[in-house]
Amino acid sequence: MLLPPVYVGLRPFDSQSSCVPPEKHPSNTTTLPSIEQLAAHWHREVDFRHRGWSRDRHRVEKALRSADVGFNRQISFHCCGSGARIVQSVEDPTDYRLRANYCHDRFCKPCATARAALVATNIAEIAPRGTLRFVTLTLAGDNKLLDETIDRIFKAFRRLRALPRWKRNVYGGAAFLETKWNDDVNRWHTHLHLIVEGDYYDKPQLREDWLKATGDSHIVHISLIRDKRATMRYALKYGSKGLDTATLRNPDRLVEAVRALHGRRLVTTFATWRGMKTKPEKTTGEWNEIGRLGKMLDDAVDGNDDAIYVLSRLGIDSNRFGPPVSEENPP
């Protein structure tokens, strides 16, 4: 097996908040990359992070502009994945991590997936404490605007949690908002998917309580979660669930969704689960930077064994990303 290499790559961008490459350095600093190299690797790194949903990402980016969201948010979304570099642990030379400029936007699929994985891990740690159940609360359809519908389901959920029977049966949990457009009936459908810890809750009683909280909605689902794997599966599925296809492919609906979901939490915790971490902690320990991801991908494609080894330690198959970026082969 190859030993952990001492890999010398390109220096990352100086700025963590912008994807604009730094100004060109004087010619005597020959070890620094050129502007052209930085631009090529920027495309390589962003393409690496977003390749699986590039078309829908372009639609979301247009919707963010049309919805007049803040300029910083637009730039952050556009640059997500840029400046990616690989660091190596001083304590364990076989441990590598990837660091980059991440947007953490709710509409960014890779960022949402990473956030959902963290939530799933935290929920799985809580799971052995007691019995968990999966609950879905559905709001009766109407023709209201999406922001009004979301306001309504969260207010109803607060009323539900205040009911005596809910307080007796549910100790804590996490709620995931899902909203999608239904072309058949031409309206929004909004749900809350919950993972709850507590005692047995009879479905007819839950239906009765949900009707009391909403005034017109009685469709609910409740089922026992039997193992930790199922818990994580539910959390990953609903924690990373982005916009549905019907919304993504309709520019007007997409802009409405961007505006309606602005500033809202799509994953919330309540009662004894309140305060559960939904953001990653900073990496501790001492780490050395060993190279730009874009440069290392190119080197791996060219057959560099050190680069192939490092990428494999990160779980990256370099063969999936084609030949290096160049003027003849743009990203």
The domain tally of the chain equals 2
On whether residue 293 sits in a domain, the answer given is yes
Look at residue 256 in the predicted model and tell me its pLDDT: 95
58 and 130 in one domain? no
127 and 84 in one domain? no
120 and 236 in one domain? yes
Token pair 């970026």 in the structure block, residue: 325
On whether residue 28 sits in a domain, the answer given is no
- pLDDT higher than threshold 50 for residue 2: no
d(C-alpha 91, C-alpha 183), whole Å: 55
Domain-ending residue, one of 246, 271, 296: 271
CATH code of 119's domain: 3.40.1310
Q: What digits encode the pLDDT tens for the residues 230-266?
A: 888 888 888 888 888 889 999 999 999 999 999 888 8
- pLDDT higher than threshold 90 for residue 210: yes
Q: Is the pTM of this model over 0.85?
A: no
143 and 39 in one domain? no
On whether residue 254 sits in a domain, the answer given is yes
The gap from C-alpha 213 to its chain's centroid, in whole angstroms, comes to 31
Q: Are 123 and 239 in contact (CB under 8 A)?
A: no
Q: Report which DSSP code applies to 323.
A: S
290 and 261 in one domain? no
205 and 264 in one domain? yes
On whether residue 127 sits in a domain, the answer given is yes
d(C-alpha 117, C-alpha 106), whole Å: 14
* CA torsion angle 76 77 83 89 (round to 10): 90
293 and 265 in one domain? no
185 and 158 in one domain? yes
On whether residue 97 sits in a domain, the answer given is no
* CA torsion angle 236 239 240 244 (round to 10): 120
178 and 142 in one domain? yes
d(C-alpha 112, C-alpha 43), whole Å: 21
235 and 189 in one domain? yes
Identify the domain containing residue 299 by its residue range.
35-91+285-321
Look at residue 259 in the predicted model and tell me its pLDDT: 94
Q: What digits encode the pLDDT tens for the residues 189-209?
A: 899 999 999 999 999 999 999
d(C-alpha 231, C-alpha 132), whole Å: 8
On whether residue 159 sits in a domain, the answer given is yes
On whether residue 106 sits in a domain, the answer given is no
On whether residue 101 sits in a domain, the answer given is no
262 and 121 in one domain? yes
128 and 208 in one domain? yes
Q: What digits encode the pLDDT tens for the residues 151-169?
A: 999 999 999 999 999 999 9
